[in-house]
């Protein structure tokens, strides 16, 4: 678990943050940064999330966390993925707002398939489109 995380001042003007359905969802979003690994990944299991995020709270229900995660996923604030039949998630903008993560232990969670390096090369058409 990280020693610290940063809360960026841009969150105040974030449409996503301000349009969240309730304050519980906002708190979950802010605390999410604290429980994620150095790559912004976590286990997509609400019991795991609750145990990390609210270990001393008896009044937080798994369905509340699930509703928040559904909202985040619907806005693409988190990306859910499967690896060997298990669910994981990551925040695509995590590295944009968190620095110092290179000093943390490397992630033990599998990389999302879409972020795995490949040996593929760009076709001339893809290369032309990427250079624009």
Angstrom distance (rounded) from CA 34 to CA 27 = 11
pLDDT of residue 120: 46
The per-residue pLDDT for range 65-79, each reduced to its tens digit, is 999 999 999 999 999
Residue with tokens 């795991």: 48
pTM given for the model: 0.80
The per-residue pLDDT for range 16-35, each reduced to its tens digit, is 999 999 999 999 999 998 89
The per-residue pLDDT for range 69-126, each reduced to its tens digit, is 999 999 999 999 999 999 999 999 887 767 666 666 778 899 888 776 644 455 566 5
**Which structure tokens are listed for 65?**
């966390």
**Which structure tokens are listed for 95?**
């590295």
Angstrom distance (rounded) from CA 78 to CA 60 = 21
């Amino acid at each position: 678990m990280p020693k610290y995380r940063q809360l960026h001042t841009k969150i105040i003007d974030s449409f996503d943050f301000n349009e969240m359905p309730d304050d519980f969802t906002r708190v979950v979003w802010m605390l999410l940064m604290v429980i994620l690994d150095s790559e912004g990944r976590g286990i997509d299991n609400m019991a795991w999330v609750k145990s990390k995020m609210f270990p001393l709270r008896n009044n937080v229900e798994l369905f509340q966390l699930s509703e928040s995660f559904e909202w985040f996923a619907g806005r693409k604030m988190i990306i859910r993925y499967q690896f060997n039949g298990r669910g994981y998630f990551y925040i695509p903008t995590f590295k944009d707002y968190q620095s110092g993560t290179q000093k943390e232990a490397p992630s033990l969670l599998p990389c999302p398939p879409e972020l795995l390096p490949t040996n593929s090369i760009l076709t001339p058409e893809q290369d032309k489109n990427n250079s624009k």
